[in-house]
Amino acid sequence: MTSQPQQQSPPDDVPADRPDAPAGMSAPLTVGVEEEFLLVDPVTRTVSPQGPQVAAAAAGELGHRVGTELTRYQIEGRTEPHTCLNEAAEELRATRAVLARAAAGRGLRIASSGSPILGLVTPVPLTPGPRYAESLSLFRALDDEQSACACHVHVGVADPREAIEVSNHLRPWLPTLTALAANSPYWAGRDTGYASWRTTTWGRWPVAGPPPYFDSPAHFQDLVEELIGTRAVLDRGGLYWDIRPSHHLPTIEVRVADAGLTPEDTVLLAALVRALTATALTAIRAGEPAPRPAPELLRAACWRAARDGLSGHALDPVTRQLLPQTTQIEHMLRVISPALHRNGDLDLVRTHWDRLRTRGSGADRQRAAYRHRSSLHDVVDHVIHATCASQTP
């Protein structure tokens, strides 16, 4: 994953978000987003390996906010850090539009799907560069199927100890976020039966999925050094846990989600992750311990969320109960509603959640597009238009 710009500090005259700060005076945490996109030929609807060329074309307008990814099928767009999610939404839409124009200049379209819908996608054409070559040498066939696209949300948490503790508090919510953001039901011409196939393929890496519970920053640092020293990862950028303290920014990075089908899907995710982080910080500063679900149950809950998305039942890794996924999401919203209110995001989240509950996740909408004529071409066309409204298939 390439870098995003430094998080901005809140103004000096605004108190930081803390338990004893009046709700009306709390400064919302900064939030920045990284979105990965596939490049698609609008005629064949298959993925196209022109990522470096499209990124170079977009760099004139976006500068450091565009980059390449592991495979040449992909490009990445990044936002600046924001405290106002309406401004973040505007930047997300504008960035997608710039990337779409750059892709159109090469006869292509951008598609925000967690996995490629059509095309011979294994082995993938890797982006040139020594790091990607080293990755192929170390991880071998694991690199072959990694044309998967994610959405990463960075939330400003500058204190390393608090970042580790936030990770501990957010772990039980990873299955819920996975289900809500599921947008990869198809892979290379077939329905996988999963709502988020990207989650399943990504979990094969040696350091991926839910992170461990960390007892302290020293515990985190010691484990990371051992993983690097034993060549389980290339470097700190290769820690593919679903949550990690950023190695180059004063942020906590939540990496669990598929690429959002629409900008609105991404904005909802960003609002939820920021509110979960703020809620965790309130608990941490009040001395409340993080829940510590059994790793086996947490992994099983993530698998079930990836399989069923919004339409199935959730395994709550804390209570160990099965309940409808929509009920689990409503529970999460109740827990984080004070933070959503402080951030001014409560109405935004309710509006976007009502839309998802009615129309379904990205995975549900992809499958609905298929059912119209039993055509994967229709699915690709739907994803292209949903990614950026100015695009035509």
Distance (Å, whole) CA 74 – CA 61: 18
Distance (Å, whole) CA 18 – CA 27: 9
- The pLDDT tens digits for 308-362 are 999 999 999 999 999 999 999 999 999 999 999 999 999 999 999 999 999 999 9
Give whichever of 24-28, 164-168, 237-241 has the largest mean pLDDT.
164-168
Name 219's Cβ contacts closer than 8 Å, sequence gap at least 6: 164
Question: What pLDDT shows up at residue 15?
Answer: 31
**Long-range contacts of range 320-326, CB-CB < 8 Å, 24 or more positions apart?**
325/176, 325/179, 326/357
Indicate the DSSP class of residue 242.
S
Burial bucket for residue 238 (CB in 10 Å: 0-12, 13-18, 19+): buried
Least confidently predicted of 180-194, 227-241, 348-362 = 227-241
**Average of pLDDT values for 203-230?**
95
* The residue to which tokens 């978000």 are assigned: 17
- Residue 294 scores a pLDDT above 90: yes
Question: What pLDDT shows up at residue 64?
Answer: 95
**Average of pLDDT values for 24-41?**
88
Name 318's Cβ contacts closer than 8 Å, sequence gap at least 6: 172, 291, 293
- The pLDDT tens digits for 86-111 are 999 999 999 999 999 999 999 999 99
Cβ-contact 206, 248 below 8 angstroms = no
| CA 162 from centre of chain | 21
- Residue 20 scores a pLDDT above 60: no
**Average of pLDDT values for 376-388?**
98
Question: What pLDDT shows up at residue 26?
Answer: 65
The one-letter code for the residue type at 201 is: T
Distance (Å, whole) CA 142 – CA 123: 10
Question: What pLDDT shows up at residue 120?
Answer: 77
Distance (Å, whole) CA 152 – CA 111: 17
**Average of pLDDT values for 20-29?**
56
**Average of pLDDT values for 43-68?**
97
- What is the enclosing helix (H) or strand (E) of 255? strand 251-258
- CA distance readout (Å), 339 to 130, 155, 217, 336: 43, 14, 25, 5
- Residue 273 scores a pLDDT above 50: yes
Domains and CATH numbers, the chain: 31-387 (3.30.590.20)
Question: What pLDDT shows up at residue 142?
Answer: 82
Six-digit token string for 323: 């309940």
Cβ-contact 166, 281 below 8 angstroms = yes
- The pLDDT tens digits for 275-293 are 999 999 999 999 999 999 9
